């Protein structure tokens, strides 16, 4: 197991530039799938997770360009097949975040179930249950999630009290971008990273 050895005893003096939060950056990167317009994110953290998600977005047809000044430009005006293969999703569980935006934008998606996690098992069934409660049809087949919008979905409600303890409600919040209906989340948690928060 890797470790970090710190030898103290000296005062710390200097300045460092703080990048944006990784989890927020990943949600915003996935959000580029919702529109065909350009999106530029600033103060982007340069991490393996953001790089892997950039590769997946490029596979989906998104133009992804790293720019000077810790900026990331994306534009999803020419999306291809809404398919996220295992060889990309397995590298980072957050790649599963593309499922909700793809359903909202294209109406359907085929996304691989993510691989393992260094901090233990974190199942995605709660994400799928939330999408089903809000009007999505979900089918699991050969390690993939096949999802699509229900045409008759108009107004849907879900109480995230059971699954909000495990994940931010970003997945069901993509439901508000569907062409029909008005979703309602009850007992939704609030945090700076949550789309349900007034600060979001």
User: Cα–Cα distance between 77 and 103 in angstroms, integer?
Assistant: 16
> Which residue out of 117, 164, 173, 184 is catalytically annotated?
117
User: Cα–Cα distance between 5 and 7 in angstroms, integer?
Assistant: 7
Q: How would you class 184 by CB atoms within 10 Å of its CB: exposed for 0-12, middle for 13-18, buried for 19 or more?
A: middle
Catalytic: 164? no
DSSP 112: E
Q: Which residues pair with 65 in a beta bridge?
A: 73
User: Cα–Cα distance between 42 and 67 in angstroms, integer?
Assistant: 9
Q: Which two tokens stand for residue 143?
A: 């390690």
Per the listing, tokens 């979905």 go with 153
User: Cα–Cα distance between 101 and 99 in angstroms, integer?
Assistant: 6
Give CA 194 to chain center in angstroms. 11
User: Cα–Cα distance between 123 and 103 in angstroms, integer?
Assistant: 20
Active-site residues, by number, are: 117
């Amino acid at each position: 197991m890797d470790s970090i050895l710190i030898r103290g005893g000296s005062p710390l003096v200097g300045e460092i530039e703080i990048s944006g939060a990784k989890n927020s950056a990943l949600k915003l990167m996935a959000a580029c799938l919702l529109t065909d317009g350009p999106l530029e994110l600033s103060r982007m953290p340069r991490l393996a997770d953001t790089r892997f998600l950039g590769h997946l977005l490029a596979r989906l047809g998104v133009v992804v360009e790293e720019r000077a000044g810790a900026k990331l430009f994306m534009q999803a005006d020419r999306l291809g097949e809404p398919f996220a293969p295992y060889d990309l999703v397995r590298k980072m569980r957050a790649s599963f975040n593309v499922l909700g935006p793809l359903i909202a934008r294209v109406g359907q998606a085929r996304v691989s179930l993510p691989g393992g996690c260094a901090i233990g098992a974190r199942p995605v069934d709660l994400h799928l249950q939330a999408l089903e409660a809000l009007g999505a049809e979900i089918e699991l087949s050969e390690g993939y999630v096949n999802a699509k919008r229900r045409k008759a979905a108009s107004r849907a409600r879900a109480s995230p009290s059971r699954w909000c303890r495990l994940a931010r409600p970003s997945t069901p919040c993509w439901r508000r971008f569907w062409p029909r209906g008005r979703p309602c989340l009850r007992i939704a948690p609030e945090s700076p990273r949550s789309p349900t928060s007034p600060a979001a």
